[in-house]
Amino acid sequence: IDTRSRCKNRLIILVLDEIEVISGTSESSAHRGTLEMFFRWANDSNISCALIGISNAVENRAAEIITSAYDASAGLTAPSLRKLVFKPYDKATLVKILSERVGNIIQPSAIEFAA
């Protein structure tokens, strides 16, 4: 059975959390080929695939490697890589989140310190 023909009319949404881990720490990382493969799937007109990469890397070496892997796999006809950058939580928000989730088992002073 040809998997491509079965999947052509279905959208595959691939979510990769901590994508910077897959990218490795250098250009020669063994995992870079895997990352490029995921990007090729997202740009392959025979596969309906949307790739969402979640990363803590925004303006550092890991972010550069991710962008470079995309550029290497995309080709000239691929859509551009779109980045959405979310603001980090402030301390008050972190305290609120932690208190709601673990406030009954951790002392408030520990939550304040962790935030």
pLDDT (tens digit per residue) in 13-38: 888 888 777 766 545 456 667 777 88
pLDDT band (50, 70, 90) for residue 53 = confident
Contact 97, 89 (CB under 8 A): yes
pLDDT value at residue 96: 92
pLDDT band (50, 70, 90) for residue 76 = very low
| Other beta carbons less than 10 A from residue 16's beta carbon | 16
Quote the CA–CA distance of 59 and 66 in Å, as a whole number: 11
Quote the CA–CA distance of 39 and 79 in Å, as a whole number: 11
Q: How long, in residues, is the chain? A: 115
